[in-house]
A and B are shown apart, each in its own frame.
Chain A
Amino acid sequence: MLAILAQAEKTLFLPPARSTVAGAHDGLYNFVLWMSVFWLVLIAGVMIYFVIKYRRKSPQDKPVGPTHSTAIELGWTLPPLILVMIIFVWGFRGFMDMNQVPNGAYQVLVSASKWSWTFTYGGGENDSVLHVPVDTPISLVLNSTDVIHSFYVPDFRVKKDVVPGRYNKTWFQATEVGEYNLFCAEYCGQGHSAMVTKVIVESREDFLAYLVERGKWWEGESPAEVGQTVWVEKGCKQCHSVDGVDGTGPTWKDVFGSERKFADGSPRVADEEYIRESVLNPGKNVVQGFDNVMPTFQGQIKDPEITGVIEYLKSISTHYDGQLLEPFPVSVPAENSGSPGAQE
């Protein structure tokens, strides 16, 4: 019966099981669930029965009942003890399966920062959405650039904290093509609840096509369009609007070419170098009235993407009336795609 429950499409409590470890997890979950129902009904039932049967007849009642029995105490200590020991072993074995990365798993680097995800594949391709091939063990190496986050995909029953200063590892093997939610499960500040993205499980062919596509994703787009994509995908838009309203960070509208005032009062005109610095070393140029909260994008953003951001800023600034760059050259030099240090 447990096996049937485990394979059910979606139980009352659990989301659909979409990874190889989910079945084992759900089996134990359902076991503990029904065990809990049993104990709860038993305890509440006995309680209600006693309340009715032994209700007070008169305030003068002076009942006498048994006060101790070692045999009874042992009798009701042993069953729960045995049960929890079974659950412990069951849970531990399930955990080892979830924890031990199988040999031959395909590795993806996961980098979390406030408040976006970056997934980097073997060829240096990176993306803010996690694409994986179906029926393939995927090993994840997790690292954070700022505070602690947690990688969580409920449909796969996988969760691991993403801790700065160490590489945590976990893995999963998706069993069905589809789109699944990926959450940050460890509170990380203002945008915590927006740090949600998708895992896209696709056939091996589609995944390959994706990688090929991703490797040259700026082909055919103008740099300003690239910049706009970066603005969305790297999470810039969480803090920087383009409609002129300041958020956590200053709006991007009309920034380029304007004079910026820093916290210490010094002015500077926002030119290309300024934008580049602000992306890579944001603490250096904190504009008056804002906090120094932006993480560095050093290592997570490629040069053409920064160029894209600069062009995008030019395109939405009234202080700039020059030309915009034409689309990128079609092919990116090969050594760029293997650019080291895309991860910290």
Chain B
Amino acid sequence: MSSENEHTGDTGHGDNHHPAHLAHHFETPEQQFESGKLGMWVFLATEILMFGGLFCAYAIYRGNHQDVFLYGYGALDKMWGATNTVVLLASSLTMAWGVRAAQKGQQKLLLTMLLLTFMGGVGFMCIKGVEYKAKWDHHLFPGTMNAFYYEGGQPKYPEKLEHAIAYIDGRNLGGEAHGGGGHAPAGHEAGDEAAPQEDSHAVEHDGSQVGDEDARHLGSVSPVIIPAVFGAPADVSTIKPPASPADMGVNDAVIDQAGAVSMPSAQHTQVLWNDLSGAEQKKVHLFFGIYFMMTGLHGLHVLIGMVLIAWLFFKARAGAFSKDYFAPVDIGGLYWHLVDLIWIFLFPLLYLIH
């Protein structure tokens, strides 16, 4: 991760017959510059593939658990996301401007632009911090700490769960950004639209009825399977199959998909807790896992970019760059643009698509 500044680091150990910033194993400054640039482009390719894996995971889970994601969006704040996009785009502009200044040898402008870019990074991270704080306040952590985490089929933190449901349902209904305990829990206002199955799920997650283990695991597959498999005639002299495979209600798909009785979400513009099947409700924490992995890894890249820009700033202030030598600024700029580009994909995927 910390390798970026190394690309530009082959400087300053030249020998006598070379320009001061030309490393001994390069013939010409152009060759060195092109090498550095090629190296950075290759590195950017690795970065894109790394995020590509995350985007893949996102696409697969979004495809498999459509409503879970639609529900999870509720926790995110579009306004902050959009603001951050603007901040990052602006910092990309100042970075590009800075590169131009470096190429033209405009020392003062370069310093200003690097500083502005750095401030853009600071702004982004601060806004990200505000967003994370909101998640934090409503116990929407990644993993086992998440309010939506289920253990052995039961919510691990029933009270926090109720609070988080109220928060997200409230937001999804267009309510205040901080829906607290004041909201009706578990979205009863939507209950009358739910099919009977939904009601039983609602009861279940309230914890007032502990369904039998198997039914919970199988979701709504069980009513199909059980008579078909176990209810075969006692007289098996014919050894006939209980049903053709297609009737079994089981297939190669993930069980819970088969089990998910998804409500047509067109009924709402937004998905509410009770629109989710029991199986889906247990997966809401997945959304936050993916959200934190994606934004967290991106945030880490922003931080690394900021370190890089700070380093460029101090080098520039010491007068290291000139019209003839601006490769580190150019290459650092490439990295910053990539960080920006990844956010351009993250923002609509996480905040906008419905």
A binds B: yes
CB within 8 Å of B: which residues of A?
Answer: 101, 103-107, 109, 120-124, 133, 136, 139, 141, 165-169, 204, 207-208, 211, 280-281, 283, 296, 298-299, 337-344
Interface residues of B in 220-252 (CB under 8 A from A): 222, 225-226, 229-232, 234, 236-237, 239-245, 248, 250-252
What range describes how many residues of B lie at the interface? Answer: 20 to 34
Asked if B239 and A165 make an inter-chain contact with CB atoms under 8 angstroms apart, the answer reads: no
Bound complex: CA of A283 vs CA of B152, how far in Å? Answer: 10
Contacts of B214 in A (CB 8 A): 298-299, 340-344
A208 CB, min distance to chain B CBs, angstroms: 6
Distance in angstroms between the alpha carbons of A106 and B236 in the assembled complex: 11
B217 within 8 A of A: yes
| Distance of A121 Cα from B233 Cα, bound (Å) | 11
A-B pairs with beta carbons under 8 Å apart, 9 shown: A101-B245, A106-B239, A107-B243, A122-B232, A133-B239, A166-B252, A211-B236, A341-B215, A344-B213
Q: Are B217 and A122 in contact (CB under 8 A)?
A: no
> Complex: how many Å from CA A83 to CA B6?
50
Residues of the A chain whose Cβ atoms lie less than 8 Å from the Cβ of B251: 167, 169
List, in ascending order, chain A residues with CB within 8 A of B245's CB: 101, 103, 105, 107, 139, 169
With A166-B254, A167-B255 as given contacts, are A106 and B234 in contact (CB-CB < 8 Å)? Answer: no
How far, in whole Å, are A281 and B217 apart by their CA atoms in the complex?
Answer: 15
A-binding residues in B (CB < 8 A): 152, 212-215, 217-218, 222, 225-226, 229-232, 234, 236-237, 239-245, 248, 250-256
Chain B residue numbers with a CB within 8 Å of A339 are: 230
Q: Is the beta-carbon distance between B252 and A208 smaller than 8 angstroms?
A: no
A137 and B212 CA atoms in complex are apart in Å by 33
Determine whether the beta carbon of A104 is less than 8 Å from that of B213: no
Query: Closest residue to A137 on the B side, CB-wise?
Result: B241
Out of A103, A141, A341, which one reaches B248, CB within 8 Å?
A141
Shortest C-beta distance, B235 to chain A (Å), equals: 10
Docked CA distance A207–B229 (Å): 18
Contact A208 B237 (CB under 8 A): yes
Nearest CB on A from B238, distance (A): 10
Give the residues in chain B near A101, CB-CB below 8 Å: 245
Query: Dominant SS at the A interface?
Result: loop
Task: Check A105–B241 contact: CB distance below 8 A.
Answer: yes
Are B242 and A107 touching (Cβ within 8 A)? yes
CA A204 to CA B213, docked complex, whole Å: 35
- A278 shortest CB reach to chain B, Å: 15
3 residue pairs, one from A and one from B, having the closest CB atoms? A341-B214, A122-B232, A167-B250
Closest chain A residue to B227 by CB distance? A340
CA–CA, A3 and B255, complex, Å: 42
- A299 vs B252: C-alpha distance when bound (angstroms): 22
Q: How long is the Cα–Cα vector from A88 to B127 in the complex, in angstroms?
A: 55
A109 to B270, CA, bound (A): 40
A104 touches B244 (CB 8 A): yes
Residues of A within 8 A of B241 (CB): 104-107, 139
| One of A166, A340, A341 near B253 (C-beta < 8 A) | A166
Nearest CB of chain B from residue A52's CB, rounded to whole Å: 46
Kindly state the separation between the CA atoms of A101 and B251 in the bound complex, as whole angstroms: 12
Complex interface: chain A residues within 8 A of B248 (CB): 107, 141
Q: Which of B213, B218, B225, B234 contacts A123 (CB 8 A)?
A: B234
Question: In whole angstroms, how far apart are the Cα atoms of A281 and B252 in the complex?
Answer: 28
Inter-subunit contact A344/B229 (CB<8 Å): no
From A166, A283, A339, residue with most partner B Cβ within 10 Å: A166
Distance of A258 from chain B, by nearest CB (Å): 27
A124-B236 CB under 8 A given contacts A103-B244, A168-B252, A344-B217: no
Q: Is the CB of B222 within 8 A of A136?
A: no
